């Protein structure tokens, strides 16, 4: 396959000529919040001239008030899966895998905006199986990763990654499985 996205995530190619479906080796679940989300509302003001009429009227009438909802801090956990057997079928390679890891590590570095100015990937924990069909079910491995609030902080909303502790029980891994933290 010529395209990274198709080799990695698959595609339904039914536009125009129906070429069928490609099942990609990578699947990503929806992220879930570790703690309840605590939204906050802030006021915003626009003081910009946007029309000729506003430019003529310099009395301050060119002001627009509004509100923006933000989440001061939240930590999300997401699970991803890579099927070695599906990778064989699409041609997904070790070089593609390295590109995926680099992309996940840096995915927010070039996508800044007021709404997500400091969003970042904080941990990337990778389980590797010796056998292409897997040495253990994914849920058994995900259960080895624990995210907990730092002692004494559980009564207040989290405001930084330092409010959490992420641990991996590497000692209890099933045979044939290794773990590596890439962040």
pLDDT in tens, 140-159: 999 999 999 987 666 788 88
Would the pLDDT of 128 be above 70? yes
Question: 60-104: per-residue pLDDT in tens?
Answer: 566 677 888 888 889 999 999 999 999 999 999 999 999 999 999
Closest CA to 92 of 181, 179, 10: 10
Range of the domain at 53: 40-70
CA–CA distance, 24 with 8 (Å, rounded to integer): 5
Residue 144 located in a structural domain: no
**Statement to judge: residues 82 and 112 lie in one domain:** yes
Whose structure tokens read 């259960």?
Answer: 143
Number of domains in the chain: 2
pTM: 0.80
* Segment 96-124 mean pLDDT: 89
Whose structure tokens read 């990337």?
Answer: 124
CA–CA distance, 29 with 142 (Å, rounded to integer): 13
Q: In this predicted structure, what is the pLDDT of residue 154? A: 64
Q: In this predicted structure, what is the pLDDT of residue 32? A: 96
**Statement to judge: residues 44 and 100 lie in one domain:** no
Residue 23 located in a structural domain: yes
**Statement to judge: residues 121 and 80 lie in one domain:** yes
Q: Per the structure block, which two tokens stand in for 128?
A: 């590797």
pLDDT band at 42 (very low <50, low <70, confident <90, very high): confident
Q: Per the structure block, which two tokens stand in for 4?
A: 């990274």
pLDDT band at 136 (very low <50, low <70, confident <90, very high): very high
pLDDT band at 111 (very low <50, low <70, confident <90, very high): confident
**Statement to judge: residues 87 and 108 lie in one domain:** yes
What's the chain's average pLDDT? Answer: 88
Q: Looking at 14-23, 33-42, 138-147, which range is the least confident one?
A: 14-23
Return the percent helix, strand and coil in the chain, to nearest 5.
Answer: 25, 30, 45
Measured between its terminal Cα atoms, the distance across the chain in Å is 30
With pLDDT > 70 as the criterion, what percentage of the chain qualifies?
Answer: 91
Would the pLDDT of 40 be above 90? no
Residue 85 located in a structural domain: yes
Residue 86 located in a structural domain: yes
Residues pairing with 67 in the sheet: 43
**Statement to judge: residues 31 and 90 lie in one domain:** yes
Q: In this predicted structure, what is the pLDDT of residue 122? A: 95
What φ, ψ does residue 99 adopt, rounded to 5°? -65, -40
**Statement to judge: residues 59 and 120 lie in one domain:** no
Q: In this predicted structure, what is the pLDDT of residue 53? A: 76
Residue 157 located in a structural domain: no
Residue 142 located in a structural domain: no
**Statement to judge: residues 97 and 21 lie in one domain:** yes
3-state secondary structure of 49: coil
């Amino acid at each position: 396959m010529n395209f990274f996205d198709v080799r990695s995530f698959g595609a339904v190619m039914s536009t125009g000529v129906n070429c069928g479906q490609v099942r990609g080796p990578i699947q990503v679940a929806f992220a879930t919040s570790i703690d309840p989300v605590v939204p906050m509302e802030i006021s915003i003001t626009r003081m910009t001239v946007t029309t000729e009429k506003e430019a003529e009227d310099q009395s301050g009438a060119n002001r627009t008030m509004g509100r923006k909802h933000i989440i001061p801090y939240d930590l999300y956990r997401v699970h991803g899966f890579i099927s070695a057997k599906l990778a064989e079928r699409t041609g997904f390679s070790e070089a593609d895998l390295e590109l995926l890891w680099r992309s996940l590590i840096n995915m927010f570095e070039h996508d800044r905006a007021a709404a997500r100015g400091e969003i970042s990937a904080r941990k990337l924990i990778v389980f590797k199986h010796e056998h292409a069909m897997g040495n253990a079910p994914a849920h058994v491995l995900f259960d080895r990763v624990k995210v907990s609030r730092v002692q004494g902080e559980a009564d207040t909303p989290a405001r930084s990654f330092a409010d959490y502790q992420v641990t991996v029980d590497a000692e209890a891994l099933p045979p044939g499985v290794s773990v590596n933290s890439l962040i």
